[in-house]
Structure 1
Amino acid sequence: MTALIEARGLTILRPGGLETVLRDVDFRIDPQEIVTVVGPNGSGKSSLIRALLGHMPLAAGQVARKAGLRIGYVPQRVQLDTTIPMTVRRFLSLPRRVGDDMAAQVLARTGVGGLQSRQLTQLSGGQFQRVLLARALLHDPHLLVLDEPTQGLDQPGIVAFYQLIEEVRRQTGAAVLMVSHDLLVVMRASDRVICLNGHVCCEGTPQHVSTAPEYRALFGAGSEGTLALYQHHHDHDHDHDHGAACAHPHHHAEAS
């Protein structure tokens, strides 16, 4: 298979099996592609991620992952016991120990070089997210999966983090799958956006999704103006046709 992950007819039920979380979802992500999943609270975004990673049972459908696929995962929440001292360097070696050179390299790549001896409790929100990203990069993943990676960051921090994601993709060649509520800036780096609300409402380039009736119905009549669309340059092509309501050939979003 050429896709890193591909799902067909994916359906997920809530525990107890009485309520559908997602129904009949088709999904794929290709090498070096950045895909962002947006949707309101309770729309099934995190459930989709967990299903794609194999962490959630399927009521129907199937998920195929490319043989030997390495995935780096940044979860939505990380619970830390603040009573236990934990340096950044120690955190990077859980659960598998890594060498000092590798630790220094990934921290430098994510913009927090030199923080090895800092306690996790002393980090700012933005620094902690970059440490989490560094940890996800430790084993040279083919795919980075980021579930609400900028939760709790202020607007400048959010923009800086997405700029970092673009740079990491450029340097490593890893594909990136993001889930986010950050509609003001989330489209900046995306090749493709999937709007989810229990099913795929619409899908396509950032510019097209931002003007799709299905998107505006979820996020408000004025929502087409809330997506900060930037000129997006890359040297690879994606030509998907998933049959979604607003799927179209890829082209660049214009600055707004």
Structure 2
Amino acid sequence: MQLISLQDLSVSYGGNTVLSNVTFGISPGEIVTIVGPNGSGKSTLLRSVIGAQMPSKGTVNRSPDLRIGYVPQKLHIDPTLPMTVRRFLSLPDRVSNAQATSALEQAGAGQLSNRQMADLSGGQFQRVLLARALLCQPQLLILDEATQGLDQPGSAAFYQKIETLRQTLGCAILMVSHELHVVMAASDRVICLNGHICCEGEPEHVASAPEYRALFGSGTQGALALYRHEHNHSHDHSCGHDHGKDETGGQHSHPAHEAHR
């Protein structure tokens, strides 16, 4: 059973169509990445999945009592406002010390509870936002450009944490990012969006699809080939042509990950 399924979803603002006839679903434990140029409707799609944006037409079906955790692209907190990480986690709804401690430890931020939010580095701030999203023990974790502003090692470490959470919590993950080679290598399935779904499938197949290369260029395929990602389960592909297994057995080297070993 899918956690979320979208059927022929379209969204328009003031007569301007932002998304058109988008259909896809997310299964438990799956990591799905949405890529696309600026203005392609990525954030609108996430808002539709969450329920913050009503579709102009089409449907969004969620499994009953689905728990969704959300890590926003950015969150501004007044730097002059005294607020500890622990206090931040209890806004707007108070959580117990045990809940806060567990979420921070899961996010790799267990030592930050008494720190001031204004004093956190970019990477620490994102870990705290991740902890906040984990408070509900989500079945679906949604990340909207969650590593924006982080350097490459910081981004790689963050995505490693996401993979660990998928394994330990069993949650599905839906994420948007411009860091194509990193997020695609960390994904089970990639959706290339430009107002509609241009192509969809396993990362190595999307990277070689004409629709993807027309948007991002052929260089990204070479970058993806440097990564290693184990694929021991199958997905449907819809990149406009049939794909068999790649010659390497679906494995791609992960230098960014190996740098943190």
TM-score by length of 2: 0.90
Q: 1:201 to 1:163 in 2, by over 3 A?
A: same
Contact 2:31/2:189, CA 8 A, preserved across alignment: yes
Superposed, which structure 2 residues align to 1:43-192 within 5 Å? Answer: 43-192=40-189
Question: How well do the aligned residues superpose, as a CA RMSD in angstroms?
Answer: 1.9
Aligned partner of 2:236: which letter? H
| CA-CA distance at 1:135 after TM superposition | 0.7
Q: C-alpha distance in 2, partners of 1:229/1:3? A: 32
Q: Secondary structure at the match of 2:164?
A: helix
Aligned partner of 1:252: which letter? G
Q: C-alpha distance in 2, partners of 1:249/1:111? A: 38
Q: Deviations over 1:100-131 (max 9, x none)?
A: 12211111121111211100111000001011
Q: 1:73 to 1:67 in 2, by over 3 A?
A: same
Q: C-alpha distance in 2, partners of 1:77/1:197? A: 22
Structure with bigger helix share is: 2
Gaps of 5+ in 2: 255-261
1:245 matched residue in structure 2: 240
Q: Deviations over 1:206-248 (max 9, x none)?
A: 111111111110012323123365333477x45335x453675
2:37 matched residue in structure 1: 40
1:3 matched residue in structure 2: 2
Q: C-alpha distance in 2, partners of 1:238/1:106? A: 32
- Structure 1 residue ranges (4+ consecutive) displaced by more than 4 angstroms after TM superposition: 246-251
Q: C-alpha distance in 1, partners of 2:150/2:58? A: 36
Aligned partner of 1:165: which letter? I
Q: Deviations over 1:66-106 (max 9, x none)?
A: 00100001111212122211100001111111111221111
Q: 1:113 to 1:11 in 2, by over 3 A?
A: same
2:196 matched residue in structure 1: 199
Identity %: 57
Q: Deviations over 1:168-199 (max 9, x none)?
A: 11111010000110113112320000000011
Contact 1:202/1:247, CA 8 A, preserved across alignment: no
Q: Deviations over 1:1-28 (max 9, x none)?
A: x1000001000112x1x21101010010
Gaps of 5+ in 1: none
Q: C-alpha distance in 2, partners of 1:249/1:172? A: 31
1:20 correspondence with 2:12: no
| CA-CA distance at 1:59 after TM superposition | 1.1
Q: Deviations over 1:34-60 (max 9, x none)?
A: 000000110100000001111112111
